[in-house]
A and B are shown apart, each in its own frame.
Chain A
Amino acid sequence: MVSKWIKRLYTSCIFIFLYAPIVVLIAFSFNDAKTTAKWEGFTLKWYQSLFQNDYIMKSLYYTVVIAILAAVLSTIIGTFAAFGIHYMKHWRQKFVLNINAIPILNPDLVTGVSLMTLFVWLNMSLGFFTMLIAHMTFCIPYVVLSVLPKLKQMPTDVLEAAMDLGATPWDAFRKVIIPEITPGIISGALIAFTLSIDDFVISFFTTGNGVSNLSIAIYSMAKRGIKPEINALSTLMFITILILLLIINKRTSNFEEL
């Protein structure tokens, strides 16, 4: 009895710890004051001014577009890379895997500065495409790492069996291997998407000329104080993600029932 009670207390403590800041943030997005110090009454005006704020909306647009593109492109590249790595011989596989791990272990700052130096050296104008390339660079290794275990779990002979039964290599890849490793691909894509939305340091160094994502826009408000519009935006993003998760959960449970 007691241990059950302790378990519950412990779990709720963890959830309070994780979600209290978000609850406070959501509450203050309805506060009728410029600061979060005092509750001055209920208002929806920050939501209204959020949608009228071109700069924040443009940053949101870039954040989402870059995150989707980076997630999709790095998932495609990363999946093929993982497939290649999986069929490599021992020492080469180890070697390539180590190379793959370096961008993960590298501090963001080093990645950001070196990418910026590279782009400037190549005479590329910093902006949307340089930021996209940078995001793909740090997303690909994570996709590789999430797809590779699924390939390892796959029975070695399914590919051969498929081809024995007359499938072309491409058909075998598409119809046999891809369905086997889909969970790995999806989690890789989700990791890539989240990393891209989260990133500040690398984006900061690799963008310019009027293209900035949300993290840069929010950070640059630091001197004057974060505006309540950002609370409103975070609330909307939180709710969107919550709804998406609910839909996904519902669909997977329906799928299992079938």
Chain B
Amino acid sequence: MKKPTIKHFTTLALVVLIMTLISGCAKADDQVVLNVYNWGDYIDEDILDTFESETGIKVNYETFATNEEMYTKIKRGGTQYDIAIPSDYMIEKMIAEDMLEPIDLSKIPNYANIDDQFKNLAFDPDNAYSVPYFWGTVGIIYNTHLIEEEIDSWDVLWDEKYKDRFTMIDSQRDSIMVALKKLGYSMNTRSLEELNAAKEALIEQKPLVLAYAGDNVKDMLISEETAMAVVWSGEASTVIQEYDYFKYALPKEGSNKWFDNVVIPKGAEHVDAAHQFIDFLCRGDIGYLNADYVGYATCNTETMKLLDPALMGTTYAYPDKALLENFEVFLDPGDFVEAYDRAWTEIKAN
């Protein structure tokens, strides 16, 4: 009874080993394999199959949870990603550190579909390194069954009557941004004084906050554990499309307008195929499938024509430009990031 177990183990090991070797060899032919590095659950995976069957290029898909994670993976080497999808400030940082391959827009005819308002943004002023993917905002989602008043300002998050009835966002720069904007400062401030004022404001607010919530915020809202929450617009869109008694407010003091753009990291092996992939993503119909699945707002004018017209003008998807007047895009704080880190630690520890 005892010996066969060992035998079984060894045979199993050999079989698996041989299988992996065989599958390893199968990949070694001339097939182009495109390594794509994206946020988790941030693409309609069916379009990857479409891309594979249309071009014969195989897509090897991998995901990350934060910009910093992705940055570390690419910076430390040992990996070869042909496509990555970081956010605004991270793109600025990667350009500054010469980590990105320039994009040849002449190879991306569908780039014409991108709305002009999403071109020449501060983090990539000449559109030399990135092509817009999705964009969105940070705002306040609230349950109209539980909150009577119309919300339009960050001030409600410092109002005693909402004690323990709202959550903040568990993201360093987004939370500090809320306080900076409430105080009327720029969210890209490099003034220690302004940052300290924001820190004090958040510490003062802390007894009122139910939690600094992460991905469980949608559950907390729907189960009415919290009446109000600071969230990314896409999360709001998911909740509101299922439960229409929620509303998403864009604070009048301004907030974060963010972008996730497609880039080609330096060292990519298949730069041409990467261009083909970006062009594919910019196609109107593909953009539609993707936007429909992900729920964030597209930067593509052709895609917008295909979308449900009811989405246009909603605060959580395609808001009126007038509402975004005071909104800003995150810039890379450079060395000042340490001051942010310290402030955040003090806020969380307090």
Asked if A92 is at the interface (CB within 8 A of a chain B CB), the reply is no
Let me know if A220 and B63 touch, CB within 8 A: yes
Interface size on A, residues (CB 8 A): 49
A65 CA to B24 CA in the complex, in Å? 13
With a cutoff of 8 Å between Cβ atoms, the chain B residues found around residue A119 in the complex are 78
A174 CA to B235 CA in the complex, in Å? 60
With a cutoff of 8 Å between Cβ atoms, the chain B residues found around residue A221 in the complex are 40-41, 63, 65, 215
With a cutoff of 8 Å between Cβ atoms, the chain B residues found around residue A73 in the complex are 13
Let me know if B16 and A68 touch, CB within 8 A: yes
Asked if B17 is at the interface (CB within 8 A of a chain A CB), the reply is yes
Interface residues of B in 203-245 (CB under 8 A from A): 214-216, 218-223, 234-235, 238, 242
Asked if B340 is at the interface (CB within 8 A of a chain A CB), the reply is no
Query: How distant is B77 from chain A, measured CB to nearest CB, in Å?
Result: 5
Question: What is the chain B residue whose CB lies nearest that of A220?
Answer: B40
Interface residues of A in 18-75 (CB under 8 A from B): 33-38, 53-55, 65, 68-69, 72-73, 75
Interface size on B, residues (CB 8 A): 51
With a cutoff of 8 Å between Cβ atoms, the chain A residues found around residue B222 in the complex are 35, 37-38
With a cutoff of 8 Å between Cβ atoms, the chain B residues found around residue A182 in the complex are 2, 5-6
Query: How distant is B298 from chain A, measured CB to nearest CB, in Å?
Result: 17
Asked if A95 is at the interface (CB within 8 A of a chain B CB), the reply is no
Asked if B314 is at the interface (CB within 8 A of a chain A CB), the reply is no
Let me know if B12 and A210 touch, CB within 8 A: no
Let me know if B6 and A36 touch, CB within 8 A: no
With a cutoff of 8 Å between Cβ atoms, the chain B residues found around residue A186 in the complex are 5
Query: How distant is B75 from chain A, measured CB to nearest CB, in Å?
Result: 10
Which stretch from A139-147, A222-230, A234-242 is at the chain B interface?
A: A222-230
Asked if A116 is at the interface (CB within 8 A of a chain B CB), the reply is yes
Which stretch from A120-128, A149-157, A163-171 is at the chain B interface?
A: A120-128
Let me know if A220 and B218 touch, CB within 8 A: no
Asked if A208 is at the interface (CB within 8 A of a chain B CB), the reply is yes
Asked if A211 is at the interface (CB within 8 A of a chain B CB), the reply is yes
A208 CA to B40 CA in the complex, in Å? 15
Given contacts A37-B218, A217-B40, A72 and B10 within 8 Å (CB-CB): yes
Binding site for B on A (CB under 8 A): 33-38, 53-55, 65, 68-69, 72-73, 75-76, 116-117, 119-120, 124-126, 128, 130, 178-179, 182, 185-186, 189, 204, 208-212, 216-217, 219-227, 255
What 7 additional pairs, Cβ within 8 angstroms, besides A38-B223, A182-B2? A55-B63, A120-B77, A208-B73, A209-B35, A212-B62, A222-B215, A223-B215
